[in-house]
Amino acid sequence: MKIRILLFFALLVSFSGMAQNKLYNIKNYGAVGDGKTNDAAAIQQAIDACSAAGGGQVIIPAGNVFLAGPFNLKSFVDLRVEGGAKLLASPDEQLYKKSAFRENKGEGTIWIGGEKLEQVGITGTGVIDGNGISFMGEELNDSYVLKPFNIVDPRPHLLTLIGCNKLNIDGVTFQNSAYWTVHLVGCNDVSISNITLLNSIKIRNSDGIDLDHSKNVRITNCFIESGDDCICLKNRREFEEYGACENIVISNCTMTSSSCAIKIGSENMDRISNVLINNCNIRKSNRGIGIQNRDEGTVDNVIFSNLFIESKLFSDVWWGKAEPIYITAYPRATSNNKDAGWRLPKGQTRGKVGAVKNIYFSNIRCTGESGVYISGESPDKISEIYLDQVSVYLDKTTTEAGGVYDRRPSNVEGLVKSAVAGFYFENTGYISLMNSNVVWGFNKPAYAGKALAKKNVSKIKTVNFSESTIQK
């Protein structure tokens, strides 16, 4: 009798679980999945029905390619892309109307969107493909030409979620985005784990993950390749009501970028703070770690630990000159380009730059064609920088010229010709450099300078710093 009662309750629990996990297969709502038909309406119907019923899973089933124009996620919906399924952005530029940045219409549109949502998931082991090459112009040596446009840049951001709470993105492959890939604005309590993100390293602006005014975010166990920044923390002016970007943890990720693997800035009109970045592998990137402050916002309390950084030179199309670690603080450029206008405070023609302080580096191994570069407008803008067990192995590996420091976009000279030091500090406050070294490789660059160079540094403490050269 007891066994029967236990079995009865087990069945009740099982049926209860099935009822809670409601499944909405998009094929049941008219999706064709032939890779040609626009299935956006069917996908939207499935999402709407799922949300209206209180939530569940919307299934993108295996064995099909579902072409789709723009659609929106809804609260309590888990969009599950099954292994063997692909969701592909339509190449029809006329479908993309909604700006990714509100009234600023010149920086892309939205493909998969959502605003002010609760408990949203994107899971599975399938593929979400932004069809980015379809939106590009001519292919060049290390980039694509960007097509001209009048007012609206039709290139779609792959995923844009605004003002959402409790997000879970797990397991899926995002690829081939025409603009930013995962853009989270003003989102709170976010987990991004186990994703593969594969953009063309030739597509400009194809950021991997952008955390914009977002809080309490964990990014773990991800593999990211992107033409622009792999992971970027920022505070865009278009969304200033969402406040600071803070309480961020990034761990156990592998990244490659034509620009910067992990970047903080350059758009930062508020505060970026309390950030932990640990156990990451950066490979063949233009710039490894970049804190690039260009607006009045501040950056503080950031810890980088246990990183391997491999950098190499790219062409001037891309910001960066192979710096494994890069910290700069200069007011934004005010010339007539996209870094003015929407980037500056409303009604102003000249910006200010906030302070960068309390930044910690521990157990960092750098290999590449340039050294650590830290430079600010004045010593009060960059201070309390702590480097412990930072090793720089500097060796020539490409045919790019080198011998340049890159301060773009700023109101001072952007590309500065210079001998390149293992560690270079200019216009900074307190710097602590401990248990660190510079090793010159077999192919020591002709543009190599000193192991440690400094100019207008208020105070520097060096302990156990060394220099050596590998003999052929």
**Residue ranges per domain, the chain?**
101-469
The neighbouring-strand residues paired with 362 are: 305, 388
Cβ–Cβ under 8 Å, residues 194 and 223 = no
Cβ–Cβ under 8 Å, residues 29 and 49 = yes
Confidence of residue 121 (pLDDT cuts 50, 70, 90): very high
Q: How far is C-alpha 140 from the geometric centre of its chain's CA atoms?
A: 24
Cβ–Cβ under 8 Å, residues 38 and 69 = yes
Q: How far is C-alpha 184 from the geometric centre of its chain's CA atoms?
A: 10
- Domain 101-469 belongs to what topology? Pectate Lyase C-like (2.160.20)
pLDDT of residue 145: 97
pLDDT of residue 5: 46
Q: How do residues 298-341 score in pLDDT, each as one tens digit?
A: 999 999 999 999 999 999 999 999 999 999 999 998 765 555 56
- Look at residue 4 and tell me whether its pLDDT is greater than 70: no
Run of H or E residues at 9:
helix 2-20
pLDDT of residue 11: 42
The SS3 call for residue 48 is helix
Mean pLDDT of the chain: 94
DSSP state letters, 296-323: S-EEEEEEEEEEEEEE----TTSS--S-
Which of 17-21, 88-92, 316-320, 406-410 shows the lowest per-residue confidence on average (mean pLDDT)?
Answer: 17-21
Run of H or E residues at 17:
helix 2-20
Q: How far is CA 347 from CA 61, 331, 340, 341, in A?
A: 50, 16, 11, 9
Cβ–Cβ under 8 Å, residues 165 and 128 = no
- Look at residue 400 and tell me whether its pLDDT is greater than 50: yes
pLDDT of residue 253: 99
Q: Which residues contact 324 (CB under 8 A, 6 or more apart)?
A: 287, 288, 289, 309, 311, 364, 366, 367, 368, 370, 371, 372, 392
Confidence of residue 128 (pLDDT cuts 50, 70, 90): very high
Q: What is the mean pLDDT of residues 113-124?
A: 98
Q: How do residues 45-100 score in pLDDT, each as one tens digit?
A: 999 999 999 999 999 999 999 999 999 999 999 999 999 999 999 999 999 999 99
Q: How do residues 218-264 score in pLDDT, each as one tens digit?
A: 999 999 999 999 999 999 999 999 999 999 999 999 999 999 999 99
Q: How far apart are CA 442 and CA 286, in angstroms?
A: 21
Confidence of residue 9 (pLDDT cuts 50, 70, 90): very low
Q: What is the mean pLDDT of residues 425-442?
A: 98
The neighbouring-strand residues paired with 149 are: none
Cβ–Cβ under 8 Å, residues 203 and 160 = no
Q: Which residues contact 307 (CB under 8 A, 6 or more apart)?
A: 277, 278, 279, 280, 281, 282, 288, 289, 363, 364, 365
Confidence of residue 10 (pLDDT cuts 50, 70, 90): very low
CB atoms within 10 A of CB 386: 17
